[in-house]
Amino acid sequence: MRSGLRLNGIAVATCGLLLTGAVYQIVGDRRDRTRFPQVGRSVDIGGRSLNIFCSGEGKPTVVFDSGRGMPGYSWLLIQPQIAKTMKACWYDRAGLGWSDPGPSPRSSDAVARDLHQLLQRAGVAPPYVLVGHSMGGFNVRVYQKFYPADVAGLVLVDARQEGMEARIPDMPRSLEALCPSCPRRPLAIAVEAVGRLGLLRLWSLDSDPAPSGVSTEQWERLASLRRRPSAIAAAIQEHSGRENDRELGTADPDDLPIIVLTAGRAFASSTRVRADALPKVQHDWVQLQRELARRSTRGQHRVVAGSDHMIPYEAPQAVIDALRDVVIEIRDDSRADPTQPTR
């Protein structure tokens, strides 16, 4: 009798906690939507919408693609500066920011095709200079492979590249490398369900301080976007391993203006790299990035000394300078060859 009452009490208490968590999440989501309305506009790409934000005028148009699980708003220190002299756009990949979720798998193949549809339907005409941070760097390379006529240049910011885990065994493993056969969709569904109970929101309360140049309001807006259960689920479903390696293959732009930016301290803050292995991991990472720049006869490699992997926050001026240098080169090409489209 007492055992049954005890079990009933535990069940009631558990249900109460779950209900409290769900209400906490719902109230928090509503508050976030009120405090932080959408930045950009939703564009239908065929039954679902992606969010894009553009400002500025002039060609070529700069398009930013963020790192894994990061909304387009994360370019807030860079996009406004570029928009002073040319058109600059960031967007939210499927399930991130203010974009609708997309079908699985969320590989760079799917990302590139989504972006192509988005730019066409949003009326953002090429040529483009594509900027990709981390996994976004892989995405923009796949885009250039699929739509080479649209791309005038690339800026790759501490970008992921194919085969890196095999080349650098001691670097942090991605989910795909740790468990290649693990189904990500069930995991994403489970994580989103946990998020709906408010647990992810609770864990994110103690966030890092805002980087230099980012206001408290901007940082809180970014945090609100990243802690959405749907965004965390979308990040889990984004591929960053062997599926993407196969998609890119061996295609590389052999004469495209490219600048590769590499963090001088890419793994310094990682708790998943052994202290004794850190110097070699960092050295090998820089070497891989240098090789990436050499794949184009017009590639440049720049090490951003003192910055960790989050160059868009740690050293935004390095990205701005690289972009401007690529654009100058593109415009010089147009002047030298009048048959080329005005850029």
Q: What is the pLDDT of residues 171-218, one digit of tens each?
A: 766 555 445 555 555 555 555 444 454 445 445 544 678 889 999 999
Give dist(CA 259, CA 261) in Å, integer: 6
Tell me, yes or no, whether 263 lies in a domain: yes
pLDDT surpasses 80 at 95: yes
Q: How far is CA 171 from CA 133, 141, 162, in A?
A: 18, 22, 14
Average pLDDT score, the chain? 81
Tell me, yes or no, whether 17 lies in a domain: no
- How high is the pLDDT of residue 342? 46
Q: What is the pLDDT of residues 125-184, one digit of tens each?
A: 999 999 999 999 999 999 999 999 999 999 999 998 887 877 887 776 655 544 555 555
Tell me, yes or no, whether 48 lies in a domain: yes
Tell me, yes or no, whether 25 lies in a domain: no
**Token digits of residue 219:** 């940082």
Let me know if 79 is exposed, middle or buried by CB neighbors in 10 A (0-12, 13-18, 19+).
buried
Tell me, yes or no, whether 254 lies in a domain: yes
The enclosing domain of 258 has a CATH number of 3.40.50.1820
Q: Average pLDDT in the 324-328 region? A: 96
Residue range(s) defining the domain that contains residue 315: 36-336
- How high is the pLDDT of residue 70? 92
Tell me, yes or no, whether 211 lies in a domain: yes
- How high is the pLDDT of residue 195? 44
Domains: count for the chain: 1
Q: Average pLDDT in the 7-28 region? A: 52
**Token digits of residue 95:** 């399930």
pTM value?
A: 0.83
Tell me, yes or no, whether 153 lies in a domain: yes
